Chain A
């Protein structure tokens, strides 16, 4: 360990209550209820990403009707537009977007990965040139928390030193240690611990020893929740699962665990089995704009010619607003109509966004129900069977391996 943490770690106030409702008797999956300042969030939960205070074409009302209780805003983007002054004048992001449910904001740290070539990271913070107007900017832990205080989100994330997942060597440890020091600065900077929950972010790349150190140190700070960061950046899925499982074993079980940037259905379900509660990803909304529909049987690219004359709903028996038949109060949208509109009219993208976000939310809702009934292992087996049309040869090895570590054998037919 290069540098010891001198001062005694500060302990954080919590503005949430977290209660595990049910624990899967086979896997590490759990169903929980988390009460945040803007209402109840039932985990496992997927949190759709409203990057710039708008969920890609959906009105807050539509999002609410999908049963979404918490969405993400991106601190980095809101800091540029509309900016801190405007957010202060308006009174935060809830008021800006008329969203009465919960908001989670990231720290802006993720942008460091994408801006790495332009950024220099020092102990003080991240110095980079604004990609919008080229002015030099400094993102410090204090600045990030200050912005998130202005946004007023219910869950705020610490600024962490993000390195690309595939980085190896000294830099990974440095980033991990620095993230711990930055957490202390973030805790000290948070002006509203009574209504904004600061989450720590576990770093340490794919090195389990570093992850262990980080988990232990960050758990000491007793933040209201803990996130597993630095993943979903192109690492092998086996490595991803190993790190997630390792962290959930070490982290306190009485706090929500949030796996950042995970949004593929298989990844989420395996992570739930490994003990994760919260997820976020732009995937369902972004892929909708490319004309891709996420369904239980896999992703359909509805721009494909074969869907031009396919008059069935986007997904059979789907309860989302677009697939529900008109006779049941839905829109009764066909694949053919989406094909007709995809990439040509924005309303087509909006419809698929509705479907995809519903799919993600509903997947987590059903997983939660299965955990409560203690049927999660069979739920997960059924999910993989449906996704791959019952062909076990198509099951991804990483998922089979990862689930074996939590006593579920996908290839085993019994139970």
Chain B
């Protein structure tokens, strides 16, 4: 893309674009987290993009033990949040005292099929769907939610912790200052939020730009020499307004280039935060929207909710675009790929699993058999009357552990009995299905068929999970807790037993 420096003196950038689409912003790429420090000597696997990264909760993949993960679950990369590990002792938190790298502490094991290739880790201060905090960030602290409650984590402590926990392959996600930190996750929170989260006021914009500049620049200076670093692109602000911020990030690479002789470092990725919430009907743009290459597109402002990469400065255009926003299903993922995003966050996979739903969607090379008739993207195994004796795999032709060795009837029984294994089996299957889906998307981009595939997918499948009725979920765990509203919201699950006298 931009003027490529001679390869003899410069390590490969962590991200390389392999192929671009003619009519969408979709692109095929390869993200190699270890290219930064040890080009060619990687012991973490490179991530072919577009792809997903799976958020962990307290360092584990929800429902999955490490032995199952390495044997049956192929995960392109995991997202680990530091706030899951920090307690009131701050720098003395158990994880820091362990003198172990985060990968060792959480026992993230390389896949059995390829034991020399570790799973890449994205280390971020906060969760991908962070719980809104009671206190705002300040210039020098980021507000986090820990096991012991809300805390203000000094940015300097954050740097110390990351330095201790990271290894040379860890991808560092820089801290982000956002007004509400994230758009409300459900409509209850949305109505309760006092400040409109769709519009950020002028003073807050200036504060946001200053803080993110400060934090991103110091993160780059601290870690960019050895690690891939991902800095935020600020949501809800026009590119003009955040131009100073982007400029200073770009200047960091020049500064490093001067001080560090022949190493010309660059930022490796943009953390693209989009203010879109699937729970707010108006913010949900129908997936039938025209591809993002529309020339009539406003070229001076990013949309308030999505980012148009076409107008970014060239220096940040060909870096990895990580979308940590909440996707509500495969349609959102296709839309994100169309907008030029490379990595999307997989919270929706776990959310689907928790709802007792098994994905059945797939991108197939064949045209749809019955045009006009849309099918759902998954089946709810809570419908015990439908699946109680169904001995077929969760989805046809699936080769995951669950589908190979178990059947719908078992998962339906486990859900009805509220046995924890239900969610383990669903999670294995759902991750497998999304892996297949992402692979098909990459193949389509490579073959210049992405537009057709995307259109066919939209014709074939009902968006999101309409028509699929979820039942109750597992017992509410940390990653599901949204502190705001917890007091008044109805319990997620009905109590399984009642007072006997009431029944009679």
Chain A residues within 8 Å of B, Cβ to Cβ: 52-62, 77, 81-82, 86, 89-90, 95-98, 118, 129, 131, 133-134, 308-309, 311, 321-322, 326, 331-334, 336-337, 339-341, 344-351, 354
Contact = CB atoms under 8 A, between A and B. Distances in A.
Contact of B61 (A56, A77, A309, A347): A347
23 contacts: A54-B419, A59-B68, A59-B424, A62-B67, A81-B416, A96-B410, A97-B410, A134-B504, A322-B65, A331-B66, A331-B109, A337-B106, A337-B107, A340-B59, A340-B85, A341-B60, A344-B147, A345-B62, A345-B477, A345-B478, A346-B62, A346-B477, A349-B420
B417 interface: yes
Given A81-B417, A331-B67, A336-B98, A98 B503 contact: no
Nearest to A118: B500
Interface in B395-449: 401, 405-407, 409-410, 412-414, 416-417, 419-425
A350 B94 contact: no
A359 B90 CA distance: 36
B455 interface: no
Nearest to A351: B65
Given A96-B413, A345-B478, A350 B503 contact: no
B107 A333 contact: yes
Contacts of B405: 60-61, 98
B421 A344 contact: no
Interface residues of B, number: 54
Nearest to B93: A308
Contacts of B424: 57, 59, 350
Contacts of B57: 345
B179 to A, nearest CB: 29
Nearest to A348: B60
Given A90-B389, A336-B98, A54 B67 contact: no
The 8 closest A-B pairs by CB, nearest first: A57-B420, A89-B389, A134-B503, A52-B417, A54-B419, A54-B421, A347-B60, A308-B94
B259 interface: no
Interface of B: 57-68, 85, 94-95, 97-98, 100, 104-107, 109, 147, 384, 388-389, 391, 401, 405-407, 409-410, 412-414, 416-417, 419-425, 474-475, 477-478, 497, 500, 503-504
A46 B500 CA distance: 35
B410 A344 contact: no
A59 B475 CA distance: 19
Contacts of B406: 98
Contacts of A309: 94, 97-98
A197 B131 CA distance: 55
A77 to B, nearest CB: 7
Contacts of A55: 421
A15 B177 CA distance: 69
A211 B58 CA distance: 53
A49 to B, nearest CB: 12
B416 A331 contact: no
A260 to B, nearest CB: 22
A90 B409 contact: yes
